[in-house]
Amino acid sequence: MNGKVDAPQGYDPSMSAAPRRAARPRGRPPKGARPAPVNEMMLAAAEAFSIQGYDGVSLRTINDQLGVSRNLLYQRFGSKANLWRAVVDWAFAPFVEHLGSVDDESADPMDRLRGFVRGFIEYSATRPYLASLATLEGAAPTERLDYLYDNYVNPARSRVLSILEQLARAGRIKPIPPEVLFFLITSGGTAPFGQAGMAARMEIELDPENPDQVRVYAEHVAEILVNGIAIGT
């Protein structure tokens, strides 16, 4: 079995993809070299925090990875805690904004739910650090988790809850705990992108940089989850 999935007929949503960061040489840059762009710094830090965890990251190692002065991030942010918060804002604020932009509140609630699932997965495909950061920070109660949850996770969760409440009042979905669906979307739906090695061993034809393949995968996830809780389908 090669794991290939076929596109459902009639489906052609759009997605937003993030460019890959070009590799930079390690070590100190030549004197007077151009500093790393902000997005490049944020991406390097986001990937470091999402892989090594907060305690495993140092400003020096990120500076070295970027090939900039070892004091650059300290001079710019003052501390690792400030850098972490800046990274979370940089990574999650556009994500929450994207989820709002793809949600047509005048549409049928079932279509809104499908759109949320698709939008979440499509945006996450080229940004695996989002789910990884949430997973690592969600492992224990900390001030960092409070900041991430209050500012970004809960707004996304509230959007799903409002849709589910509409469907429940109309008697269109089964009485399941909403957290079950939320975790299936956020952790289960994005798993192939965060577990690229596992996906490769399964021979899944799913390139996160290929919008068509990601659309097909996102639609299949939406079909399974939405049809699974719907009544009368």
The proportion of the chain whose per-residue pLDDT surpasses 70, expressed as a percent, equals 85
Residue 7 has pLDDT above 80, yes or no: no
Question: Are 55 and 107 in the same domain?
Answer: no
Question: Are 93 and 191 in the same domain?
Answer: yes
Q: What Rg, from alpha-carbon coordinates, does the chain have?
A: 20
Question: Are 60 and 168 in the same domain?
Answer: no
According to the model, what pLDDT value does residue 9 have? 44
Position 28 in a domain: yes
Question: Are 153 and 94 in the same domain?
Answer: yes
Give the helix ranges, DSSP H, for the chain.
38-52, 59-66, 72-77, 80-101, 109-124, 129-137, 143-148, 154-169, 178-183, 191-194, 196-201, 211-229
Residue 60 near residue 75, CB atoms below 8 Å: no
Residue 48 near residue 65, CB atoms below 8 Å: yes
Position 205 in a domain: yes
Residue 110 near residue 226, CB atoms below 8 Å: yes
Question: Are 36 and 90 in the same domain?
Answer: no
Q: What is the CATH number of the domain that holds 204?
A: 1.10.357.10
Question: Are 68 and 136 in the same domain?
Answer: no
Question: Are 66 and 98 in the same domain?
Answer: no
Q: How many domains does the chain have?
A: 2
pTM: 0.82
Record the tokens describing residue 229, joined without a space: 């809780």
Position 10 in a domain: no
Of 78, 112, 142, the residue at which a domain comes to its end is 78
Please state, in angstroms and rounded to a whole number, the distance separating the CA atoms of residues 206 and 122. Answer: 12
Question: Are 73 and 88 in the same domain?
Answer: no
pLDDT (tens digit, 9 = 90+) per residue, 10-68? Answer: 444 443 344 444 444 444 444 344 567 899 999 999 999 999 999 999 999 999 999 99
The residue range of the domain holding 180 is: 80-229
Give the residue carrying structure tokens 């809780």. Answer: 229
Residue 189 near residue 221, CB atoms below 8 Å: yes
Question: Are 184 and 97 in the same domain?
Answer: yes
- Contacts for 176-184 with beta carbons within 8 Å, 24 or more apart? 176/229, 181/225, 181/229, 182/157, 184/225
Q: What is the CATH number of the domain that holds 56?
A: 1.10.10
Dihedral sign, CA of 214, 15, 158, 88?
A: positive
